[in-house]
Structure 1
Amino acid sequence: VVMGRHTARIFRRRRRAMAAPAVLPIIGRPPYRMALDLTRRWLARHEEGELDAVYLIHNAYRGTGRYEPTVVRLIPPMLPTSPEAATLPWPPPIIETDPLSLYARVVEQWTAARLYGLLLESAAAEHSARYQLMEAATQSAERLIDELTLVVQTARRQAITQEMQELAAGAGLLGLR
């Protein structure tokens, strides 16, 4: 799945096949519903054996104006585990729902939330880079305004000086004393 216009353009330019291009909003944040729908489709295709895994390459936000491409495996999910959790005594859970359907729902929601978080992080990195470009453009425009103001003031001073010289020369030619 290719997400975003820029990425789709790169894939088309390199003549790569795209299974399902998805358009992301340029302004604002991506909708959670899109992440949930994509996750459901991917999990269904994974259960049917069509997909071995789903990897997401996204822009990881690394501070103001900095990001780096990062690869994350979404499916099959790598749920966080802790070594201490295995050694703690824990009573058997009381589950009134079918454990498999509950597990499937948890995996679906966890994966969708993870995908959505990665989309938000990528959007934050992009907006940060865009902000840095706008700041640089603003500073360049301010420098240009200062330079042009100086040019206008210099031209004005020269015009006034020339006019005064012409008046003085004119007064001298007329013989005014």
Structure 2
Amino acid sequence: MESINDIQLRLQGLEDIKHLLRSVRAMSAIRWRRAKQHLAFAQSYAKNIDSQLATVLARLGSELPAGLSAHTKGRNERVNVGLISLTSDRGLCGNFNTGLIAKAIHVTEILDRKNKDVKIISLGGYGERLFKNAGYEIFHSEKITSSQAVSFINIRKAITHIQAFYEAGAIDELNILYNKFNYFGSYTPQSIQILPPKISELDANLAPSAEDLIIESNPDELKEFLLWEHLAAQLYMAFIESTVSEHSARLQTMDSAISNIDERVGELEIQFHTIRQEKITQGVLEVQSNMRKRKQKEF
């Protein structure tokens, strides 16, 4: 049985850990609220870009520019599919990362049966480590810290690299795999295809602007720019939504850890008081025994 001093040391250690977890939780709560605000801004920007794109497509036609057209492959040629994996740059968020990697591996196996090779593009340091540990080769990676505020400039830089890969023929399709935010503590791994763009879906979902369109630049260049900007906005929204899910998962993990510590502290306190009561009882019995011995000696 542990001594009272040992239990007191363990209780103090648990209180220190609990204090640390509360600090992490408080920081995650702040970042979660900020990420939700950033998501609203991203959705507003994407809506504006989509409106301009719909107007351009309505005026100039829906044919894809040469740089964004689908790649032609032979019957027996394998299609190269880029898979952007949006993971966090740190842990302590439950199965947020491992669940996404498991989904990525599942998608990879399905595409392989369809004669498609998956090229993993990792945005987030944690996913890169997990993929390498699972034996998968990383085609391209970028360290975008999801724990800090991510600007659209960071995402546009990633899109620039992806554009170079697509135009060079290194990838023929592009999917984004991220954790879609449902509600607090709930998220679902989701895969969406963004390359090549599906113009028919864009025409159906986007509402043209009512303003008159005055085009001073090359129409094809304008269309290509807006299409890539649309894809960048889609990636940015997916990244921000993934960040919201990450901080939500971390908050839930911290709550669970704090609850487990409280439960363990309660068990140790009961054990502490039990041992303390036993020692007090033992001390009282020893005093009574000594008093009896003294009385027997007097008589």
Residue 67 of structure 1: how far off its partner (Å): 2.1
Q: Which has the higher mean CA deviation after the structures are superposed, 61-70 or 129-138? A: 61-70
Q: Which has the higher mean CA deviation after the structures are superposed, 47-56 or 118-127? A: 47-56
Q: 1:84 to 1:54 in 2, by over 3 A?
A: closer
CA distance in 2, matches of 1:84, 1:18: 35
Q: What whole-Å deviation, never above 9, does each CA across 1:46-91 have from its counterpart, x for those lacking one?
A: 34444322111112222233222211112223463338969xxx78
Residue 118 of structure 1 is aligned with which of 233, 238, 262?
238
CA distance in 2, matches of 1:123, 1:116: 10
Q: What is the identity percentage for the equivalent residue pairs of Structure 1 and Structure 2?
A: 24
What pairs up with 1:155-174 in 2 under 5 angstroms?
Answer: 155-174=275-294
Q: Which has the higher mean CA deviation after the structures are superposed, 14-23 or 57-66? A: 14-23
**Does residue 1:96 correspond to 2:216, yes or no?**
yes
CA distance in 1, matches of 2:254, 2:207: 48
Q: 1:97 to 1:162 in 2, by over 3 A?
A: same
What pairs up with 1:1-177 in 2 under 5 angstroms?
Answer: 1-25=121-145, 27-78=147-198, 80-82=202-204, 93-175=213-295
5+ residue gaps, structure 1: none
Q: Which has the higher mean CA deviation after the structures are superposed, 6-15 or 136-145? A: 6-15
CA distance in 1, matches of 2:155, 2:211: 34
5+ residue gaps, structure 2: 1-120
Contact 1:43 1:75 survives alignment (8 Å): no
Q: What's the secondary structure of 2:177's corresponding residue?
A: strand
Q: What's the secondary structure of 2:231's corresponding residue?
A: helix
Q: What whole-Å deviation, never above 9, does each CA across 1:128-162 have from its counterpart, x for those lacking one?
A: 22222211111010001111111111111111111
Q: How many residues align?
A: 174
Residue 2 of structure 1: how far off its partner (Å): 2.3
Name the structure with the higher strand share. 2
Provide the aligned C-alpha RMSD in A.
2.8
